[in-house]
Amino acid sequence: MIDDLTTAREMIRHTVATLAYRAAKPLRDVPAEFAAFRPKPGSRTAVEILAHMGDLFDWGLSLAAGKEAWSDSVPMGWEQEVSRFFASLKAFDDYLAGTQEIHCPIGRLFQGPIADALTHTGQLAMLRSLFGAPIKPENYYKADITRGVVGSNQPPARREF
């Protein structure tokens, strides 16, 4: 719970868990054709956005470890990219959960990879609606979000509408 957060490191980990919870909704139970969906020519497809999200957390981990490296990966299939995203997110969270030094300002980790991924999560949710496969809205304040729970298997929604 947010009430027991006492450090910036704990807060950023709660943010990562929140991202995992929120991203899990538009990433699961998608129609097969959704991966290639793009709202207009020249925009990113859904799977390209998802691949970029995995890249963001590979980059975030490299920043935290003091070995900054960026890579634009070639998108794989939807399920592979979902797995890669959650694996990248877990590796990032595992680093934050450890005792090793974070070699960059935590605020910059938030404003860079984390905030960007939150934006892309919203884009994927909107793309689902445009595609005709919307996700249910939810009261995220009531969601069961726990630091360290950053995989695709998230608790069920407490209050969808």
Report the b/e string of 40-58 with b at 16+ CB within 10 A: eeeebbbbbbbbbbbbbbb
Task: Indicate the pTM of the whole model.
Answer: 0.95
Total domains, the chain: 1
| 77 within domain boundaries | yes
| 153 within domain boundaries | no
**CATH number of the CATH domain containing 119:** 1.20.120.450
The confidence score (pLDDT) of residue 23 equals: 98
pLDDT, averaged across the chain: 95
> The tokens 């694996």 sit on which residue?
87
The confidence score (pLDDT) of residue 6 equals: 75
| 151 within domain boundaries | no
> Domain range holding 89?
2-142
Tokens representing 145 are 């979000």
Residues with pLDDT less than 70, the chain: 1-5
